[in-house]
């Protein structure tokens, strides 16, 4: 709007203000009113301020003010999962474990990922001419759920539909969110990348450096070498390079597969015992009157309906100690079955249920079905350990001073020099050496060991029977005869 000049005054007229610059005391009030009226501003709007300005004399005065529109708040995305650059050890924020740096984020099925925040509209304005000025509408966030992600349209929350890695990408202003079951890490796993813990399958396109840890909830593939590190998967493990002074696990190194089956069988009976106690508690008003009454009730059911359960639990105590994450929970679990504590107040039914839940949660993570996928394949093994519920195969350069434990078959076509090897059966290349390096091969009594060549002083173990070879053999299969002696069957 223009600046309007009159005799003894200047009017500065804008959309949201009218300013009077009064230069002389003797000016025409009617002239100012008419000038503003012609521009759409009524006398009623300027009356109080104009009268005050004319009374005070020369100066600058705001006759009327409009209201500019107030901008709204743009929409956005509020992430409900952390994206930490560094994880610090609990209780000491000054100590940083650089191996725990994360460049990805693992999420679980059903976990809330993000909330879409809709834009908040602005407030319209009003000019000095009485015209409403609409506020600009803030843009709404452009977000597209990808595979493995669903959006609840009612509340704008994004959920993970499966366990996996969260991937967020922005393309042309649109945010794409997806959960993938495969994590592909390009490069080495070292202090720069941090350890990797992922619920799905993992592919490492590089090496795993000393002191690092890689854990996969499904399968694991490493295209490089593993040196001085630990790599672990519930499914298969495949390492294209050598395994050097490291540990590779497929399944669970704490528990051999037959022992796992026994634990699952024990857990089923423990749940039957829990169900019987809970059923009686539900139908007996006095059963929950005190911890002593609950304890007596549980022991009575144990003795009457599950007479051998206590013995089985105590026989499995050393194995259960490996399974429980904390010794306190392990001790709480054993108390109802141990003669020294079963009848006293050192345990309650509630504390035992809590310990049982801990055991069941661990076993749920390791179902027997994992055996079908368990396998380790590696180029070579040097002063390292390998554990698998399934088979282990060392593909090229053999195994040296290693410990390889498999509940399936060990197959090493190359040299096997030094260490301990335990499996249900074995097919090996050249075992031992002329220097008599200590090498032990272990199978159950019903197992067999097939060798292309083996040197003297190699130890063979069939169940509880131990044999040390006194001479070399070539193209031979060893097995245990019915009389308990060693049988060397030539291979044709």
CA-to-CA distance for 249 and 301, rounded, in angstroms? Answer: 40
Mean of pLDDT values over 437-444? 96
Bridge partners for 61 per DSSP:
20
CATH topology of domain 76-180: OB fold (Dihydrolipoamide Acetyltransferase, E2P) (2.40.50)
In this structure, what is the dihedral angle of CA atoms 68, 72, 74, 78, given to the nearest 10 degrees?
140
Listed ranges 3-12, 159-168, 203-212, 367-376; the one with the highest mean pLDDT: 203-212
Mean of pLDDT values over 297-324? 92
Residue 107 pLDDT: 86
Q: In angstroms, what CA-CA distances link 294 with 269, 273, 282, 351?
A: 20, 14, 12, 12
CA-to-CA distance for 37 and 51, rounded, in angstroms? Answer: 16
**Helix or strand run (H / E) with residue 257:** helix 257-283
Mean of pLDDT values over 74-97? 59
The overall average pLDDT reported for the chain is 89
Kindly tell me if the per-residue pLDDT of 184 is higher than 90. Answer: no
Closest residue by Cα to residue 398 from 384, 388, 238, 230 = 384
Bridge partners for 411 per DSSP:
393, 427
Domain spans, the chain: 3-65, 76-180, 184-253+372-490, 257-365
CA-to-CA distance for 354 and 356, rounded, in angstroms? Answer: 5
Q: In angstroms, what CA-CA distances link 471 with 13, 430, 437, 458, 459?
A: 113, 14, 14, 9, 11
Q: How far apart are the first and last CA of the chain?
A: 107
Looking at per-residue pLDDT, the higher value among 94 and 217 belongs to 217
Residue 283 pLDDT: 79
Q: What stretches of 28-173 adopt beta strand conformation (E)?
A: 59-65, 76-79, 105-107, 112-117, 125-126, 132-133, 143-145, 149-152, 157-160, 164-171
Q: What stretches of 187-307 adopt beta strand conformation (E)?
A: 196-198, 201-205, 213-216, 220-222, 226-227, 230-233, 237-244, 247-250
Looking at per-residue pLDDT, the higher value among 102 and 21 belongs to 21
DSSP state of 367: -
Alpha helix positions (H), 325-444 = 327-334, 349-365
Evaluate whether 254 touches 320 at the Cβ level (below 8 Å): no
Q: Is 460 left (phi over 0), alpha (psi -120 to 50) or beta?
A: beta
196-224 pLDDT tens trace: 999 888 999 999 999 999 999 989 999 99
Residue 85 pLDDT: 42
Evaluate whether 237 touches 251 at the Cβ level (below 8 Å): no
Residue 199 pLDDT: 87
Closest residue by Cα to residue 268 from 400, 356, 340 = 356
SS3 132: strand
Q: How confident is the model at residue 13 (pLDDT cuts 50, 70, 90)?
A: confident
Exposed, middle or buried: residue 349 (CB in 10 Å: 0-12, 13-18, 19+)? buried
**What sign does the CA torsion over 317, 321, 325, 331 have?**
positive
Mean of pLDDT values over 286-291? 72
In this structure, what is the dihedral angle of CA atoms 146, 152, 153, 157, given to the nearest 10 degrees?
-80
CA-to-CA distance for 137 and 155, rounded, in angstroms? Answer: 21
Per cent of the chain over pLDDT 90 is: 55
252-271 pLDDT tens trace: 988 999 999 999 999 999 99
Q: How far is CA 137 from the centre of its chain?
A: 39
Kindly tell me if the per-residue pLDDT of 234 is higher than 60. Answer: yes
Alpha helix positions (H), 19-165 = 29-38, 43-56
CA-to-CA distance for 347 and 180, rounded, in angstroms? Answer: 45
Residue 97 pLDDT: 57
Mean of pLDDT values over 149-175? 86
| DSSP code string of 387-416 | EESSEEEEEEEEEEEEEEEESSEEEE-S-E
């Amino acid at each position: 709007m223009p600046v309007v000049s009159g005799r003894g005054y200047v009017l500065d007229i804008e959309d949201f203000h009218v300013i009077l610059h009064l230069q002389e005391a003797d000016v025409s009030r009617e002239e100012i009113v008419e000038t503003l009226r012609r521009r759409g501003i009524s006398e009623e709007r300027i009356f109080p301020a104009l009268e005050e300005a004319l009374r005070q004399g020369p100066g600058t005065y705001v006759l009327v003010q409009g209201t500019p529109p107030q901008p709204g708040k743009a929409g956005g995305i509020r992430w409900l999962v952390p994206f930490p650059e560094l994880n610090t050890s609990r209780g000491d924020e000054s100590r940083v474990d650089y191996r725990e740096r994360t460049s990805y984020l693992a999420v679980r099925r059903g976990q809330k990922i993000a909330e879409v925040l809709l834009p908040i509209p602005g407030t319209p304005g009003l000019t000095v001419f009485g015209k409403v000025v609409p506020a600009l509408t803030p843009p709404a966030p452009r977000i597209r759920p990808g595979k493995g992600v669903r959006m609840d349209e009612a509340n704008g929350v994004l959920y993970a539909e499966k366990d996996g890695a969260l991937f967020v990408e922005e393309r042309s202003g649109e945010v794409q969110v997806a959960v993938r079951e495969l994590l592909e890490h390009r490069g080495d796993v070292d202090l720069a990348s941090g350890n990797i813990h992922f619920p799905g399958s993992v592919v490492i396109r590089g090496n795993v450096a000393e002191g690092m840890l890689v854990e996969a909830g499904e399968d694991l593939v490493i295209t490089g070498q593993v040196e001085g590190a630990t790599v672990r998967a519930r499914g298969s493990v495949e390492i294209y390079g050598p395994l050097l002074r490291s540990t590779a696990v497929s399944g669970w190194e704490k528990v051999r597969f037959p022992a796992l089956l026994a634990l699952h069988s024990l857990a089923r009976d423990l749940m039957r015992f829990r169900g019987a106690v809970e059923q009686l508690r539900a139908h007996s008003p006095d059963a929950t009157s005190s911890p002593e009454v609950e304890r007596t009730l549980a022991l009575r059911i144990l003795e009457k309906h599950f007479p051998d359960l206590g013995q089985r639990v105590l026989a499995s105590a050393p194995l259960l100690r490996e399974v429980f994450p904390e010794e306190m929970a392990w001790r709480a679990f054993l108390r109802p079955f141990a003669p020294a504590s079963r009848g006293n107040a050192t345990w309650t039914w509630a504390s035992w249920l809590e310990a049982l839940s801990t055991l069941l949660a661990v076993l749920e993570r390791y179902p027997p079905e994992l055996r079908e996928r368990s396998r380790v394949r590696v180029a070579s093994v040097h002063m390292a350990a390998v554990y698998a519920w399934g088979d282990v195969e060392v593909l090229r350069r053999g195994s040296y001073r290693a410990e390889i434990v498999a509940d399936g078959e060990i197959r090493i076509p190359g040299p096997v020099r030094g260490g301990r090897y335990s499996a249900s059966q074995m097919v090996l290349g050249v075992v031992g050496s002329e220097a008599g390096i200590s090498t032990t091969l272990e199978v159950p009594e019903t197992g067999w060991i097939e060798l292309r060549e083996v040197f003297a002083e190699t130890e063979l173990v069939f169940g509880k029977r131990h044999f040390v070879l006194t001479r070399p053999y070539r193209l031979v299969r060893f097995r245990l005869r019915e009389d308990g002696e060693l049988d060397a069957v030539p291979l044709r």
